[in-house]
Amino acid sequence: MFHFFKKAKKANTQSKPQKNNDPIRSSLKHNTEHIKQLFSYGTNKDFSYRDLIAKYNQKEMSLFYYSSIVNGDKIYEAIIRPLLEAEGNELKNVVTVESLTEIKDFDEVIEHINSGKAILFQEGTAIAFSIDVAQFQFRSIGKAENESAIKGPQEAFTESLNVNISLVRKRVHDKQLITESKQVGKRSKSEVNFLYVSDLVNDDILNNLKKRLDEINTDSVRNVELLEQYIEERPYSIFPSIHYTERPDKAASYLEDGYIIILMDNSAACLVVPVTFWSFFHAQEDRYLRFLYGNFTRAIRLFAFYLTTMISATYVGITNFHSEMLPPDLLLAITASRERVPFPLIFEVLIMEVAFELIREAGIRIPNPLGPTIGIVGALILGQAAVEANIISPIIVIVAAVSGLTSFAIADVSINFTVRITRFIFIAAAGTYGMFGLAGAFLVWFMYAASLKSFGVPFFSPLAPYFKSPGDTVFRKAIKNEIWRPGNLLPKDLRKKRDSTSK
């Protein structure tokens, strides 16, 4: 199936934007003119420039920046004022900013201005100075809304790369934590940062990731949500192969296990690679809760997983093909409630499942103030009214509600879709051949999942194939007994617990 992807890639023709490899000249006038033309000065409202004569060497200078993405106070305090007032022999001794880079050509000039730097040209010098005064606007750090936890840190990533890195570094005090970056996008260049602990990470995985980042051939990749789709192996697969989380504490714990996390500006989340089924199944809170409580949640979630994928399909399969299996009273109750329903049972189930999906989709898209209405309308129309109108039988409402509600126990966005799509596949299978069809469909589905690899790591490892690991798969061990890192990643340092005497 994935050869489609390859084909699509080849078809992507090499249309790069024109290059501005002109070197910077020593004539200020020329430079100024050139840059004004490049940025359409005058039309482009927020592109600003300022001429001045520096006091320390009495030379003419020009400063260019986007007023919307720089800190105006800083420009005044750290650049203009020192240049106008301070004495000194060299530029770097005059301006009071923390970073000052020399750049040589206009290509770089454009890039720097776009990323919120101020560019200073000086009469008679063939280089420009880039001064970091960027101030992009972003949301302040908020609560993790989609992956909420009762016990545990509440901070979430926000749409700023630096803040996000700071959130991670705050948690991982390891000098080997490397933040490497790569530029993606041909027209609008964005920086992709990937973080890893260099003496843990498996270099094969790291190189694989770098290769995939290099292979991205597109005009722009704005955020990690889009990046995810550029670097994944199987774009048509029903299973996700990259993990997406908004919790810095989760990211930190992945880092410490030898995973790589990917951050970008403009995304309040990070990507984690490689991934296994368990990363989707776990919630970070499982680890914050005590051993027994954490495992209890896991058990509940496993059950929810089963219910949400299977209950509707099982119901269809059993009632349509294996009615002998139902206890007589239940059988009679269902039969009685179906006496006046005009549709076949599978149709009833599908009506309810689709209705539930509709409510769900509408609930996400609905403007906030209208939010509460959707619940009432949905429950009212779909539940009571449909039953009273004899369109569906009351038991279906229970089945659909259980299968819908349990799907919320699966927090991860991607796997949530997997599960919801799977549910419909299973209903179809059960509707055609009862439990035989369902068992067959499940097996094909499961073996497909087992054959997946994310960056070379099998989807169900470390359970099968077996690897030394913290034992954190379906259930987890007591934290004190976790000795190994996940061996399925082949980390450089497998042992997690240093002290071998304590047992």
Partner 1 sequence: MKRMICISLLLMFLTGCYDKVELEQQSYNVAIGVDQTDKEGTYEFTFQITNPEVGTTSGGGSDEEPNETVTTNGSDILTAMNTVNSFVSKRMTLDHTKVIVISEELARSGDFLQIIQAASRTTQIRRATQIVVSKESAAEFLNNIKPKMETRTHKYFQYMITRATQTGIIPDASVHRFFQITEGDADLFLAIYATNEHEEKKGEGYEDQYVAGEIPQEGGSDTQFMGSAVFKEGKMIDTLDGQDTRIAHVLDYTLDMDELLSTYPDPIRPEYRVAADYIQKTPAEVEIQYNKNKPTKIDVTVSFQIEVLAIPSLVNYSQNSAHQELLRKAIITDLESKANKLIKKTQEEYGSDPFYWSLFIRDQFIDVPAYEEADWNKKIYPNADITVSFNLKRLAFGKMLNDTNLSEVRD
Partner 2 sequence: MKDYKTLTTREMFALVTLLVGIKFADTTPALLAQKGQNAFWMIPIISFLIIFPSFLLLIYLLKRYKDKNLVELLEKVLGRFFGKSLGFLLFILAYATLIFDSRNYVEQIKLLYYPQSPTLIISIVFMAVIFFCAKRGFEVIGFTSWIGLPLIKFAVFLLAALIFKEAVWNRIFPIFGSGVQVIVMEGVKNSSIFLEFFLLTIAYTAFKDTKFFRRGSYFGGLFVIFEIILFFLLYTVIFDYNSIDKIAFPFHEITQYINFGDYFTNIETFFMVFWLFAGFMRFIILLYLITWIFGAVFNINEFEPLLFPFAFLALMIGVIPENAIVNELIIRDLLLDISTPLFVLFPFILWIVALCKGELKKT
Residue 231 as a binder of partner 2 (CB under 8 A): the answer is no
Q: Are 87 and 56 in contact (CB under 8 A)?
A: yes
Read off the DSSP letter of residue 220: B
User: Which stretches of 125-259 are assigned E, i.e. beta strand?
Assistant: 128-132, 177-184, 190-197, 243-245
> Which does residue 363 bind out of partner 1, partner 2, none, counting CB within 5 to 8 angstroms by kind?
none
Question: Rounded to an integer, what distance in angstroms lies between the CA atom of residue 362 and that of residue 367?
Answer: 9
Q: Are 52 and 61 in contact (CB under 8 A)?
A: yes
Q: Cβ closer to partner 1: 160 or 319?
A: 319
Q: How far is the CB of 452 from partner 1 (least distance, A)?
A: 16
Assigned token pair, 114: 């776009």
> Which does residue 332 bind out of partner 2, partner 1, none, counting CB within 5 to 8 angstroms by kind?
partner 1
Q: Which residues contact 100 (CB under 8 A, 6 or more apart)?
A: 91, 92, 129, 130, 131
Q: Are 476 and 298 in contact (CB under 8 A)?
A: yes
> Which does residue 448 bind out of partner 2, partner 1, none, counting CB within 5 to 8 angstroms by kind?
partner 2
Query: Which run of H or of E encompasses 100?
Result: strand 100-103
- Paired strand residues for 197: 177
Contact with partner 2 (CB under 8 A) among 344, 363, 375, 440: 440
Q: Which residues contact 125 (CB under 8 A, 6 or more apart)?
A: 26
Residue closest to 51 by CA, chosen among 70, 69, 31: 31
Residue 430 as a binder of partner 2 (CB under 8 A): the answer is no
Q: How far is the CB of 215 from partner 2 (least distance, A)?
A: 17
Q: Are 74 and 135 in contact (CB under 8 A)?
A: yes
Q: Are 247 and 288 in contact (CB under 8 A)?
A: no
Site string for partner 2, 478-497 (x = CB under 8 A): ------------x-------
Contact with partner 2 (CB under 8 A) among 380, 444, 478, 479: 444
Contact with partner 2 (CB under 8 A) among 93, 166, 466, 479: 466
Read off the DSSP letter of residue 198: T
Assigned token pair, 331: 């059988």
Question: Rounded to an integer, what distance in angstroms lies between the CA atom of residue 399 and that of residue 402?
Answer: 5
CA-based R_g, the chain, Å? 29
Question: Rounded to an integer, what distance in angstroms lies between the CA atom of residue 477 and that of residue 384?
Answer: 45
Residue 344 as a binder of partner 2 (CB under 8 A): the answer is no
> Which does residue 337 bind out of partner 2, partner 1, none, counting CB within 5 to 8 angstroms by kind?
partner 1
Residue 205 as a binder of partner 2 (CB under 8 A): the answer is yes
| Cis amide prior to 248 (ω within 30 degrees) | no
Residue 455 as a binder of partner 2 (CB under 8 A): the answer is yes
Contact with partner 2 (CB under 8 A) among 122, 164, 208, 279: 208
Q: Cβ closer to partner 1: 49 or 343?
A: 343
Q: How far is the CB of 202 from partner 2 (least distance, A)?
A: 7
Q: How far is the CB of 271 from partner 2 (least distance, A)?
A: 18
Residue 433 as a binder of partner 2 (CB under 8 A): the answer is yes
> Which does residue 17 bind out of partner 1, partner 2, none, counting CB within 5 to 8 angstroms by kind?
none
Residue 302 as a binder of partner 2 (CB under 8 A): the answer is no
Q: Cβ closer to partner 2: 319 or 406?
A: 319
Residues that bind partner 1 (CB under 8 A): 1, 319-321, 323-324, 328-329, 331-341, 344-345, 394, 428-429, 431-434, 437
Strands 128-132 and 117-122: antiparallel
Residue 451 as a binder of partner 2 (CB under 8 A): the answer is yes
Q: Are 165 and 179 in contact (CB under 8 A)?
A: yes
Residue closest to 116 by CA, chosen among 159, 172, 75, 56: 75
> Which does residue 8 bind out of partner 2, partner 1, none, counting CB within 5 to 8 angstroms by kind?
none
Alpha helices in 89-157 (DSSP H): 106-114
Task: Give the binding range for partner 2 (CB under 8 A) out of 1-9, 143-151, 226-234, 439-447.
Answer: 439-447
* Helix, strand, or coil (residue 272): strand
Q: How far is the CB of 354 from partner 1 (least distance, A)?
A: 18
Q: Cβ closer to partner 2: 38 or 326?
A: 326
> Which does residue 431 bind out of partner 2, partner 1, none, counting CB within 5 to 8 angstroms by kind?
partner 1
Q: How far is the CB of 155 from partner 1 (least distance, A)?
A: 44
Residue 127 as a binder of partner 2 (CB under 8 A): the answer is no
Task: Please report, as ranges, the residues that interact with partner 2 according to CB under 8 A.
Answer: 202, 204-205, 208, 318, 321-322, 324-325, 327-328, 433-441, 443-444, 446-448, 450-451, 455-458, 460-461, 463-466, 490
